């Protein structure tokens, strides 16, 4: 009598074995890709909402004479040394746009108008 | 909000904070959800690059939906599973690609390399067979058996009844068994027949 050599159909246990193998075989998320996604998420935070980011907060008390140079010095944007001693601001490549954002109503001065 | 404190919050709470402008919430939520979305997309598409695309799209949709998110409307993960499933199905329909086509890197050598090679062979065979299932069957099988969702959760994700899920699952299992039985020995499965 002929014997049937075809394998028995897969049962639930066989399928579970395959599913478990597929779970283990799933690659992990690339850490660099995750960082990009996090940057995207941070950028997608609604702009109208109050921000919790660590943007510099400028106190009005700083807005005395020479404040811009002190700020520029703190931010590494030039050679400002705190305003004392009358050091001249020497632009070192900072964008005009940056200053325009800090002082929107202020007329650009000759010292950095050459960058325009 | 501090990173440590954010780690303990529920997804929905983090999403609410995101909508209010909390960038830390955005980062914590991304770190928590992106691996889930990516795993689901990879298991449906079988392709890392496509799975990354879908992960990005799904999360962008979540950020877009965040300001209008109603607390208690659905679990964030359920919503994401649904969006991810739909994006994967769209891609499968457009490209007519089936999962299992990618040949990922071979596992590194190590004491359990043999097991990992066997896992790889089994996973590829399963992905190929899943790729031949109708989309809805495949979606149900992946959510239930690879993502580990319960039948009611699968039903919620797919927006169908639990009975319909069970029916999809039953037909899916039959199709998988039929497709994979000839490879039973090669896949190292015991043949008691």
Cα–Cα distance, A87 to B82 (Å, whole number): 62
CA distance to A56, A68, A85, B34, per residue, from A82 (Å): 17, 9, 9, 45
Per-residue pLDDT tens digits for B119-140: 899 999 999 999 899 999 999 9
CB B89, CB B135: distance < 8 Å: yes
Chain B CB within 8 Å of residue A113 CB: no
Segment of A64-78, B90-104, B151-165 carrying the highest mean pLDDT: B151-165
CB < 8 Å from B in window 24-63 of A: 24-30, 33-34, 37-38, 40-42, 44-46, 49-53
* Nearest CB partner across the interface for B26, out of A23, A24, A42: A42
Q: Which residues in chain A are contacts of B187 at CB distance < 8 A?
A: 18
Per-residue pLDDT tens digits for A84-102: 444 443 333 333 333 333 3
Cα–Cα distance, B31 to B35 (Å, whole number): 7
CB-based burial label for A53 (10 Å; 0-12, 13-18, 19+): exposed
Per-residue pLDDT tens digits for B30-76: 999 999 999 999 999 888 999 999 999 999 999 999 999 987 778 99
> For B28, which residue in chain A has the nearest alpha carbon?
A38
Full set of structural domains in chain B with CATH: 1-97 (1.10.1740.10), 105-193 (1.10.10.10)
Q: Compute the nearest-CA separation of A3 from chain B (Å).
A: 11
CB B142, CB B44: distance < 8 Å: yes
* Residue B134, both tokens: 């109708």
Q: Determine the 3-state secondary structure of B136 from DSSP.
A: helix
Per-residue pLDDT tens digits for A8-60: 889 999 999 999 999 998 889 999 999 999 999 999 998 764 554 443 333 33
> For A53, which residue in chain B has the nearest alpha carbon?
B23
Task: Assess: ipTM above 0.90.
Answer: no
pTM here?
0.70
B122:A25 CB<8 A: yes
* Nearest CB partner across the interface for B27, out of A11, A19, A41: A41
> For B27, which residue in chain A has the nearest alpha carbon?
A38
Please give the radius of gyration of chain A, using alpha carbons only, rounded to the nearest integer.
Answer: 31
User: What residue spans define the domains of chain A?
Assistant: 63-113
* Helices (H) then strands (E): counts for chain A: 5, 0
Burial B142-177, CB ≥16 within 10 A → b, else e:
bbbbbbebebebbbbbbeeeeeebeebbebbbebbb
* Nearest CB partner across the interface for B29, out of A7, A41, A53: A41
Q: Which residues in chain B are contacts of A3 at CB distance < 8 A?
A: none
Q: How many CB atoms lie within 10 A of CB A85?
A: 6
Q: What is the pLDDT of residue A9?
A: 87
Determine which of B24-28, B70-74, B189-193 has the lowest per-residue pLDDT on average: B189-193
* Nearest CB partner across the interface for B23, out of A10, A33, A42: A42
> For A51, which residue in chain B has the nearest alpha carbon?
B21
CA distance to B45, B111, B115, B116, B173, per residue, from B108 (Å): 23, 10, 12, 9, 32
Q: What pLDDT band is residue A67 in, cutting at 50, 70 and 90?
A: very low
Q: Compute the nearest-CA separation of A80 from chain B (Å).
A: 32
* Nearest CB partner across the interface for A37, out of B18, B43, B56: B56
Q: What pLDDT band is residue B170 in, cutting at 50, 70 and 90?
A: very high
């Amino acid at each position: 009598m002929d014997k049937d050599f075809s394998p028995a159909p897969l049962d639930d246990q066989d399928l579970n074995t395959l599913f478990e193998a597929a779970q283990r075989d799933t690659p992990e998320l690339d850490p660099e890709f995750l960082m990009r996604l996090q940057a995207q998420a941070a950028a997608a935070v609604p702009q109208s909402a109050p921000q919790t980011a660590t943007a510099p907060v400028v106190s009005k008390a700083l807005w005395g004479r020479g404040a811009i140079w002190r700020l520029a010095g703190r931010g590494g944007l030039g050679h400002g040394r705190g305003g004392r001693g009358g050091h001249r601001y020497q632009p070192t490549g900072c964008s005009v746009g940056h200053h325009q954002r800090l002082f929107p109503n202020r007329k650009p001065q000759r010292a950095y108008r050459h960058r325009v | 909000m501090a990173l440590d404190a954010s780690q303990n919050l529920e997804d929905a709470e983090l999403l609410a904070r995101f909508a209010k402008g909390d960038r830390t919430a955005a980062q914590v939520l991304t770190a928590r959800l992106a691996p889930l979305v990516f795993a689901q997309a990879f298991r449906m598409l079988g392709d890392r690059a496509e799975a990354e695309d879908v992960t990005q799209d799904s999360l962008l949709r979540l950020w877009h939906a965040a300001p209008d998110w109603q607390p208690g409307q659905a679990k964030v993960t359920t919503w994401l599973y649904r969006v991810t499933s739909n994006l994967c199905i769209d891609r499968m329909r457009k490209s007519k690609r089936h999962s299992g086509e990618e040949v990922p890197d071979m596992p590194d050598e190590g004491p359990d390399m043999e097991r990992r090679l066997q896992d790889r062979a089994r996973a590829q065979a399963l992905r190929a067979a899943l790729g031949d299932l109708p989309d809805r069957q495949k979606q149900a099988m992946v959510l239930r058996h690879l993502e580990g969702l319960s039948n009611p959760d699968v039903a919620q994700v797919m927006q169908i009844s639990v009975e319909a899920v069970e029916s999809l699952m039953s037909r899916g299992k039959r199709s998988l068994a039929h497709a994979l039985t000839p490879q039973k020995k090669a896949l190292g499965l015991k043949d008691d027949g």
